[in-house]
Amino acid sequence: MKTGRLEAFSDGVLAIIITIMVLGMSAPEGYSFEDLKPILPVFLTYVLSFIYVGIYWNNHHHLLQAVNKVNGKILWANLNLLFWLSLFPFATDWMGKNHFEDNPTAIYGIVLLMTALAFKILVYCVIQNEGNESNIGKVYSKDKKLNLSPLLYLIGVVSSFFLPIVSLTIYLGVALMWIIPDRRIEKTIKD
């Protein structure tokens, strides 16, 4: 099967996830800038989650551009990724409304960790289908970011019980690490 239907379905799910996240924010009752202070954590968490969903959308798009065909394993791995991404609205809402307390920050980190592992599984299934010498195999076979991210998320989850601000710094750091699109895929496809 070609990748078109998989991409279209995934794009639709990601659009719904972003919509649900923004609907989770509500405007304050007052009209002054002071009235915005209590909802600042909600807004900041939304921004971080929006960036993460954007990063996954971008990397998912690049990944599928290098894929010739998808099989059942790839379809299920993609659904696994979408499942974990679909938990972003819940984790975002809970962490933001509870002003970065330890348990919500840990759950947010667990969602990040599981999403990273799901993306890694998807990449593995694609490489298994396309072959180690394929374009995607060459790019992701020893990808440092792909392997480092889950470890950093795990450290973030553990540290959330002691210093949630450290966790948030780690989560932001990993996002910044991924925010620049991976040019290796585009370069490999053009070659």
Give tens-digit pLDDT for 131-188.
Answer: 888 878 888 877 889 999 999 999 999 999 999 999 999 999 999 999 877 677 767 6
Q: Is residue 126 a contact partner of residue 74, using CB atoms and an 8 Å limit?
A: yes
Task: Please give the pLDDT value at position 182.
Answer: 67
Task: Please give the pLDDT value at position 29.
Answer: 86
123-127: Cβ within 8 A, 24+ apart: 123/63, 124/77, 125/71, 125/73, 125/74, 125/77, 126/63, 126/67, 126/74, 126/77
Task: Please give the pLDDT value at position 177.
Answer: 92
pLDDT higher than 80, residue 189: no
Residue range 20-39: average pLDDT? 88
Task: Please give the pLDDT value at position 65.
Answer: 84
Amino acid identity at 95: M
pLDDT higher than 90, residue 46: yes
Each residue's pLDDT tens digit, 66-125: 888 899 999 999 999 999 999 999 999 999 999 899 999 999 999 999 999 999 999 999
Dihedral class, residue 178 (left if φ above 0, else alpha if ψ from -120 to 50, else beta): alpha
Task: Please give the pLDDT value at position 150.
Answer: 97
For the chain, domain boundaries: 4-190
What is the spatial distance between Cα 149 and Cα 8, in angstroms, rounded to a whole number? 27
Residue range 33-47: average pLDDT? 90
pLDDT higher than 70, residue 190: no
